[in-house]
Amino acid sequence: MSPKTRWVRVRGALAKIPLIGHLFECAWADYFESLVEYSNSLLWSTMPFWLGAVILFVQEQNGAKTFLDTFTGTFRNGELLVFTIGTVTPITYMTWFEDPKRRFPHRLAIGTFAVFLIVLCASFFALQKGKVPTKSDYIYYTSLAFAAVAISLRYIAIVYNKTKYPHTSEQDLTRPSSDYTDDFERATQSTVAAQTVGRQVTDFHDAFADALATPNDARRD
């Protein structure tokens, strides 16, 4: 068995792993494009945390605190639970609304896991804001884990969503117009050639008729 054949079999077995199996069938371009796309979204969605930390850090009343203290203080009260809900909610749309062109990979597993995260985060946030005695440290560290899982799951969903559609390059976009131009030129050239041949035949017939008519005209004179 060649190494290529062995890798194909291994990749086929890994592709059956729930949630992450399809990652082994994706191209590097899918990873990179998804990373660029989600990095921009992640930067703005986390702005209340890092920008709030900067504003709090420069205030004189927080002079004794480090930047890490002000940063973690922006999501100490369950804010990451809300962030997690907002991060995974678009995944439910990607997985529940089936595309007739191509099926979303692992849609049942990813959609179920996303809903599970939403329910857990909403429950923890309600408990924390409802003045119910809770283990605040446990909820805080759990919210950190949930946020990390949500970011990873959202990135995976973006990668999967890109693999549903074929890669389109600039050449693919311009090919129809190029094909039309080539076909038009070929049709025009064939038409011009046919007209030229026809004109040549007509000119030959006229010249031959004139040649026959000239001796007869000469004899009449």
Q: Looking at the structure, do residues 109 and 204 belong to the same domain, yes or no?
A: no
Q: Which residue is listed with tokens 């559609």?
A: 165
Q: Higher confidence at residue 218 or residue 147?
A: 147
What's the pLDDT score for residue 3?
Answer: 67
In a domain, residue 68? The reply is no
Amino acid at 152: S
Q: 184 is in which domain, residue-wise? A: 175-221
CA 200 – CA 80 distance, rounded (Å): 84
Residue 216 has pLDDT above 60, yes or no: no
State the average pLDDT over residues 200-215.
56
Residue 162: name the closest of 15, 17, 28, 34 by CA.
34
CA 155 – CA 31 distance, rounded (Å): 9
Q: Looking at the structure, do residues 140 and 191 belong to the same domain, yes or no?
A: no
Q: Looking at the structure, do residues 123 and 220 belong to the same domain, yes or no?
A: no
DSSP code for 132: -
Q: Which of 7-21, 85-99, 137-151, 187-201 has the lowest mean pLDDT?
A: 187-201
In the three-class reduction of DSSP (H, G, I as helix; E, B as strand; rest coil), residue 200 is classed as helix
Q: C-alpha angle 37/42/48, rounded to 5°?
A: 150
Model confidence, pTM: 0.67
In a domain, residue 62? The reply is no
In the three-class reduction of DSSP (H, G, I as helix; E, B as strand; rest coil), residue 42 is classed as helix
In a domain, residue 67? The reply is no
Residue 8 has pLDDT above 60, yes or no: yes
In a domain, residue 9? The reply is no
Burial class (CB in 10 A: 0-12, 13-18, 19+), 121: buried
Residue 18 has pLDDT above 60, yes or no: yes
Q: Looking at the structure, do residues 148 and 40 belong to the same domain, yes or no?
A: yes
Domain count, the chain: 2
